[in-house]
Amino acid sequence: MSHALTRRNFSLAAAALAAPALLSRAALGSDAKIDLVHLFSGADHPIQKVIRAFNEKNTGVIVVSRQDGTTYEAITQKAMSSIAAGRGPALMTTGWKLGDFAKRTLGAKDFREIFGVDRTAALLGQFRPRIRPLAEIGGVPIGLPWSMSTPVLYINQTLWTAAGLDPAAEPKTVEELYPMARQLQDKTGKQGLCYEVNEWLPQAFIQNAGGNVIDANGRAVMDSPAAIKGIEAFVQPRRDGLWRVMTISEMLAAFQAGAIGVMASSSARQSGVRQAASFDLRLAQMPGLAGHNRRMNSGGNFLAVYSGNKEQQEAAYRFMQFIASREGFEIWLGTGYLNVTTNDIPVRPGNEAANAQLEGGLTSETIWPGARGLEALTVHIDWITKIVNGTVSVADGLRGSRDAVEKLTAA
Amino acid sequence: MTAAWRRLGRSPWLFAGPAVAAAVAFVWLPMVATFGLSFIDWSMLRQEATWRGITHYSGTLANPDFHLALGNTAIYLAALLPLQIGVPLALAFALVRVRAGLPGRIYRTALFAPSVLSFPIAAVVWLWMFNPTVGVLNTLLGHVGFAPQRWLTDPDLAIWGVIAVAFWKSFGFNLLIFLAALANVPADVTEAARIDGAGPFRQAIDIELPLISPALFFAIVTTVIIVLDEIVGAVDVLTEGGPFRMSSNLLYFLYERGFRHFQFGEAAAVAVLIAAMVAAVTWAQFRFGERHVHYD
């Protein structure tokens, strides 16, 4: 049977095709769809599992995973365009260091304004009291603190024991660690120690010596006597020939290949390093400095809401409720991030050291203030790199950093 | 309007229209917008603009990081231009004189292969080779008694690491151009030179080089643009401009201002300055270089 293509038939067919698009989504009973912008690669990454588990619950909200880059800066840059066009992502993983920028420039929403004070308290109440303030910028809660890591020691246990070191020994201070790294290097011929050269790990040394990078008033104080002492301890292994300076990706490759005895890096790298390593791996707490109280820092990202659409904000709330639940967070811990909720979830094997560090109390990652805060961060890393390379002395380098950062944060 | 034009009616506009519209929308308007943006501070999100006059230009020109990027760009150009032209040219002269059959074709393909790789993929391979602890380069150095090097984190070496990768990655493209140009040199001309007693070197310099000068000129112009422009991919993946900006170049400086620090006004000023420099260099190439080109 055939039908002639008349004007009437054509109009009917076109109307039938267009009708679903013209009917409101509510009338059709379809789900609210929100984007979650993030930087995590891999179809099997826990973020995909969290999203899948939530979507399978058929709550009326569908979360769409959108990996817009592999760095916080890259996803932020893309988000800026969509926010400017009025279609900001409902949710985006936002690096702690970008907190001030997210609030001032990107317009991350104040949870109390979009969810109400009580519902915000109920949502954030699922997180540990000490953690909640970390997702507040200037006292304003703008994020769900779901991804928290901390610097830890990754120990190649095979080399460690081959060097005759006590297999269970855990150095409490760098003064204890450095002779152990020396012994490992001398006995095995492998590189004893490697640190990340960035702003984050040096922050741990500065804080553990009693200093700060930026103080509570937003002033650059990274050249205080305490900070100088901390960075002196940081660069000591390079001066002693224990640490051959390399990029983070080079360090990871070399450690995973079994060529480095001990490396200090983020606890969030744990699952990746463990997968790639063909030796016994042990994680230990990041050592402090002798004679000083431990004061370790955290890192990672928080989830912030950028959409101005009420329906999208409501959908984001429902997803964040799931994330904060025991079920949602248990899946998320597969990343190596820490359990910062009040949910009683057993610590995953391998995460004990990072978890112990969390229990001991963590400060926030440095949040770089001002419209030029991100530039200040880059400048600070440049000065740290110069110090590590021996181009300038520790005192001169930190003073140079403070001068440059002061100019930029005041701009 | 002439009668000939009138006879054509609307046809020329219909044919040229889409291309002109695309050029206006995606080239000319962004260029004008970038120029305008360089005089203001613009908040993309608040859609607010604050007039800054020439502050972004004076600030950029006084910025030590800009000077460093400019100096590094000169080093990249000074190192890569002779390498990217000289080595492929010498290889092309050698390869056209060898009749090696299938192995020869495989060898030529191998030389060209890196050119079809994307910079990020090539850089990942090189990151392994450069690794100071497990990389093949330091392993080889160790076998001949040299100390291992920090190829990408030593401030004196990093720029040369990027240059090495950029050279390896791109020289095959020019090799292909030169091989094609040499293949088109009339055999009777070189034959006559040979009969007159010219040796291979003399033939190459006095006969073939002038005859392939248009290809040579094209290669020089495009290589300058590649060095100024495309090398930013290698810089980003290998060193991110580090350590402490020592391997950065002008385009990476622009990228950082715009897309890492989100200072769009300053980034626009840098873009205008780079465009002016590239235009000046290209003009100089045509003004002083083209006179040596033989198109007949």
- At A24-68, the pLDDT tens digits run 444 445 789 999 999 988 888 899 999 999 999 999 999 999 998
Residue B122 neighbours by CB under 8 Å, 6+ apart:
B114, B165, B168, B169, B234
Closest Cβ–Cβ partner in A105, A253, A372 for B45 = A105
Burial class of residue A291, CB neighbours in 10 A (0-12, 13-18, 19+): exposed
> pLDDT at residue A280 above 90?
yes
- At B176-210, the pLDDT tens digits run 999 999 999 988 888 898 888 888 888 888 889 99
pLDDT for the residue A27: 46
Of B43, B259, B111, B82, nearest in space to A106 by CA: B43
3-state SS class at A22: helix
Show residues of chain A in contact with B259, CB under 8 Å. 73-74, 77
pLDDT for the residue B13: 83
- At A127-167, the pLDDT tens digits run 999 888 888 888 899 999 989 999 999 999 999 999 999 99
**CA separation for the pair A382, B248 (Å, rounded):** 12
Lowest mean pLDDT among A167-181, A234-248, A355-369: A355-369
Closest Cβ–Cβ partner in B127, B243, B261 for A249 = B127
| Range B30-43 burial, b when 16+ CB lie within 10 A, else e | eeeebeebbbbbbb
> pLDDT at residue A3 above 70?
no
Show residues of chain A in contact with B150, CB under 8 Å. 244-246
Minimum Cα–Cα distance from A249: chain B residue: B127
> pLDDT at residue B286 above 70?
yes
**pTM of the full predicted structure?**
0.84
Tokens of B141: 């150095």
Q: State the smallest CA–CA distance between residue A299 and chain B in angstroms.
A: 19
Whole-number Cα distances in Å, B285 to A112, A220, B175, B220, B288:
62, 48, 21, 9, 6
pLDDT for the residue A105: 84
- At A211-230, the pLDDT tens digits run 999 998 889 999 999 999 99
Whether residue A368 contacts residue A377, with contact meaning beta carbons closer than 8 Å, is answered with yes
Minimum Cα–Cα distance from A408: chain B residue: B261
Beta bridge partners of B48: B43
Burial class of residue A287, CB neighbours in 10 A (0-12, 13-18, 19+): buried
Closest Cβ–Cβ partner in B127, B130, B150 for A244 = B150
Burial class of residue A303, CB neighbours in 10 A (0-12, 13-18, 19+): buried
ipTM: 0.81
Could you state, in order of their start, the residue ranges of all structural domains in chain A? 29-149+299-354, 151-297+368-410
Show residues of chain B in contact with A73, CB under 8 Å. 259-260
Please state which architecture CATH assigns to domain A29-149+299-354: 3-Layer(aba) Sandwich (3.40)
Question: Cβ–Cβ of A253/B260 closer than 8 Å?
Answer: no
Question: Cβ–Cβ of B44/A247 closer than 8 Å?
Answer: no
- At B224-240, the pLDDT tens digits run 988 888 788 889 889 99
Question: Cβ–Cβ of B153/A245 closer than 8 Å?
Answer: yes
Could you state, in order of their start, the residue ranges of all structural domains in chain B? 56-292
DSSP state of B291: G
> pLDDT at residue B1 above 70?
no
Show residues of chain A in contact with B243, CB under 8 Å. 197, 385-386, 389
Lowest mean pLDDT among A11-20, B123-132, B166-175: A11-20
Chosen from B42, B55, B133, B252 to mutate, greatest number of chain A CBs within 10 A: B133
**CA separation for the pair B227, B275 (Å, rounded):** 14
Which stretch of DSSP H or E encloses residue A58? none
Quick one: fold of B56-292? MetI-like fold (1.10.3720)
Residue B236 neighbours by CB under 8 Å, 6+ apart:
B252, B255
Cβ contacts from A onto B, under 8 A: 86
One fold for both A29-149+299-354 and A151-297+368-410? yes
pLDDT for the residue B296: 64
Show residues of chain B in contact with A375, CB under 8 Å. 261, 263
Please state which architecture CATH assigns to domain A151-297+368-410: 3-Layer(aba) Sandwich (3.40)
